[in-house]
Every structure is written in structure tokens, then in C-alpha cells.
Amino acid sequence: MTSLDEIVTTLNVTHIYHEKQYLQRCALHALNNLFQAEIFTKKQLDDICLRLSPSYLLNPHRSAFGLGNYDINVIETALQGVGCVALWFDKRKDVRSIDLANIVGLIINVPVNSKIFNFSLPFATRRHWFSIRKINGKFYNLDSKLTSAQCIGSDEEMLQYIFQILTNKGVQMFIIVRKEIVNGSPTVLCTSCTYSVLFFNESVIRCVVILEVYFEVLFQDSSDERGKDFNRLSQLVSTQISKISQNVATIQRMVAQLGTTQDSEHLRQNLHEIQHFTHTLSQTTMESLKNLSSLPSPSNASEQRQWKLQRERLTNDFSVVLNNFQAVQRSAAQKEKVSVLRARVDSGIGGVSFSSVIPQEKLQIEQNLDIQTIQEREQVIRQLESDIMDVNQIFKDLALMVHQQGEVIDSIEANVDNAQVHIDQGSTQIQRAAQYQSKARRKKMLCCSVIIVLIIVISLIIYFTTGGK
């Protein structure tokens, strides 16, 4: 794959590279337009989808029929392959805090409505990706739906342009930067970007899990805002817990396939990687919880109670997913041990004789391969057991943190407060449910109307095509 240094040479060009929309490949076009070259192909993005999730037909990272419609996980993985990362921009921040001199460009995601015969279907909303970058000293909108690249202008005009875009509902913006800026620059600061890290090995990207980590890159914020970070950190911890839960469910499915006809070295490799990096994510979540707990409490008594309840809820949720993760770790370790014993028996290691008709050299080669496989699986078992012990330590740290705060999760006070919150939330959810039910009814009626109109139109076309016979 082309290196980032080679790509950057296209910043000063005589001709602007601009791919136009084809099917649902806006993410592919956005990436290539961002780097001003055909760096990626549909096959490469499809391969990334399969690495993220082995399902071919119903892959959650693209459309059902493989037409495109790739999600942010695919984009982030592709960016990692060329030495870049995507930083999510918090729209609550001032766009002027973005240091445009340190970015490769922007990738923006906007909601769009599907259309049938130029008739907009509001209930069938899709997402569209497009990129913006600086070329020859000016910023350009490289949206694949445009007939040609649209010149935005200077840095000031660029900031005004993205400010207008971000005022629209549902718009998300990702700032694309070089990896070394995130990893090593002490002069660029940020508190409003979320850095999504994806793990890959050499030229083969093996995306396992997304770690949401906050880096201080590209922004300048004063320290007096740190007391306002509770909601942001709470959302971060909640997202991390959700990702751990999703990974645990994936691990459970993989462990269930061990020892069956679906078992394979590829399956085991993916299992070991996602298990290990979920363990890393658990450690990161523990650090995030500690950061959340270390924030100074607000002076308002009502806010103090809300913060306390939120921390308790997140701590409980984290404890539950940790229990589930540790249980599936033990199950995986047990199956690996059984697999090693079976491999030893099948290979004949330890006294089992082989048929004399097999040539000795071939026999030695096969036995060496068996020994290597067994040693690799034993190493995996040791790693699993080490990770299990680390999770035990996380449990201890969690208990210590709760004890130091003087917050007993199952205390009577907490239960009473939780009951009140749940009652309030229940009332709100009932109201929302009624609204959703009403909207669902209207959508169904609209769908039926559209289907009836389509049937009438098709019938008329058939009728006049056949001459009314």
C-alpha cells in the first residue's frame, strides 16, 4: 500500500483528483479523494469488513449485498494502513480551536434520505461520507456527489464552512491526522477529540477492537473546563463498557465453535487477538473510571447525587461485563487445554508409535510441525491465564476505588435513589414509547401507500407495454 509520505506529495497538484459517486461507495470515494489518488479499492475495504466480522452476507460494517455503505470502523482501519488516525470532533467545541496546519483533512458523515423516483423517503435514512482537504493552499470539498471539486477557500472560510455544516442535525466530523502527531507531539494539545485505535500486524490489518482513548491533540483548552468533563467521561466509560460487552458476545460465539467442524487456526487466531485486546480495553476502562472518580464534585447537592448515581451505575455495569469476560476467558482456556491434550495424542508425542510405511524424514517433519503447534497453543493458554489474573487485579482495583469513595453500591441509600431515578426514567420511557408507536404507525401507513402506488404504476406500465391485451 502507498505510504503516507508518497501520498502527501499530491498536496501541490495541477489536477485535482475527484472520484464521483458510484452505488453506495461514498466511504471509498471519500478516502481516495482525501489522499488525492486511488489508494484503496472496493476489494480492500471488503476484506477489512471480513476481518472486522467474518460474516460475508450480513456483515454489520457494510450493506447487505456488498454494494458499499461502509461504516467508520472500516474507514479507521483503512486509515491505519497509511499511517493516519481519525479523531472524532465534539461539536460542542469551537471549530476555531482546530489547528488546520496539523491535519491531513476532514471526513464528514451526514444523514441523507433515500429516494424512489425522486420521491424522498424520510423513514429510510442513510449515511453519506465525504472528505475535505487543502490542495494548492486552498480547501476543497471533495464530495463524490458533486460534479467536480468545490473550492471552499482560505483557512478562515474553511472554519466558517464547517461551522455551518456542523449546525445540521446528525452530522459527525472526523479529523484525519498523521499517527506520529498523536503519538509524539508535545506541542499540540486537545481535550475534545476521541482517538480510535485499531490494531494491525504488518501489512495485514487485523482489526480486533476499538479502544476509545482521549488524547490531547490539535486543540487548546484551559484547565478550568476540566470540572465540566463529567458527562464526556461518563459517555466514554459507557461506550467502553458497551464495546467490552459486544466483544464478550463475539468471544462466546467463537469459543462455542472450538472443537467443532467450524474450528480452524484462523478462528483461533482471531479469538486470541480479540480476547487479548478486550483485556486491554478493560484496563483502559478502569483508568477511565478512576479519572471519572477523581473529578472534583460539584457544589450543588442535586448534581452531587446525580454524579454519585451515575458512577455507581457505571461501576455496576463494568463489574457485570468483567464477570462475563472472565467466565468466557476460563471457558476458552479450558477448551485450549483439551485441544492441546488431543493434539498430543493425535501427533503420537510421548510414546505412540507410527506406521512403518511412513518415510522417516516425512514423519520427522510432521512431528516437528505438531510440536510447534502444541507449543503455540500452550503459549496461548499461558497468555489466557495471565489475562485472567489481570482481570482479577482489575476487580481488586475496582473494589478499592469504591471503598475509598465510601460508596457501597448496594447501600440502602443508593437503592432508594436508584428507585426514584428508575421511576422518573420509566415515566419518560413510557411517553417515548407512545410517541414511537405513533410514529411507527404513520411510517407503516406511508410504506403501504408507497407500495400501492408502485403496484399501480407497474401495472399501468405492463398494461400499456402489452397494448392493453
Query: How many Å apart are CA 214 and CA 234, to the nearest integer?
Result: 13
Contact 214, 236 (CB under 8 A): yes
Catalytic residue, from 18, 26, 272, 276: name it.
26
Chain-centroid distance, C-alpha 167: 24
3-state SS, residue 357 = coil
Q: Of the residues 29, 61, 128, 279, which is catalytic?
A: 128
Residue 260, classed as helix, strand or coil, is: coil
- The SS3 call for residue 142 is coil
Q: What angle do CA 423, 425, 427 make, to 5 degrees?
A: 70
Cell 498430543: give the residue.
344
Pairing of strands 105-116, 119-135: antiparallel
Q: Can you read off the three cell numbers belonging to residue 422?
A: 428508575
Q: Burial of 452 by CB count in 10 Å (0-12 exposed, 13-18 middle, 19+ buried)?
A: exposed
266 part of the active site: no
Q: Is 26 a catalytic residue?
A: yes
Inter-CA distances, 401 with 2, 291, 394, 404, 405, Å = 47, 11, 10, 5, 6
The residues, any chain, with a CB within 8 Å of residue 216's CB and separated by 6 or more, are 189, 190, 191
128 is catalytic: yes
**Locate cell 482481570: which residue?**
391
- Catalytic, out of 18, 46, 99, 143: 143
Encoded amino acid at 252, one letter: Q
In angstroms, rounded to a whole number, what is the distance separating the alpha carbons of residues 103 and 405? 41
Neighbours of 13 (CB within 10 A): 12
Q: What angle do CA 245, 214, 400 make, to 5 degrees?
A: 60
Q: Which three cell numbers stand for residue 338?
A: 483439551
Strand pairing category for 150-153 and 138-141: antiparallel
What pairs with residue 374 in β-bridges?
A: none
Residues labelled catalytic: 26, 128, 143
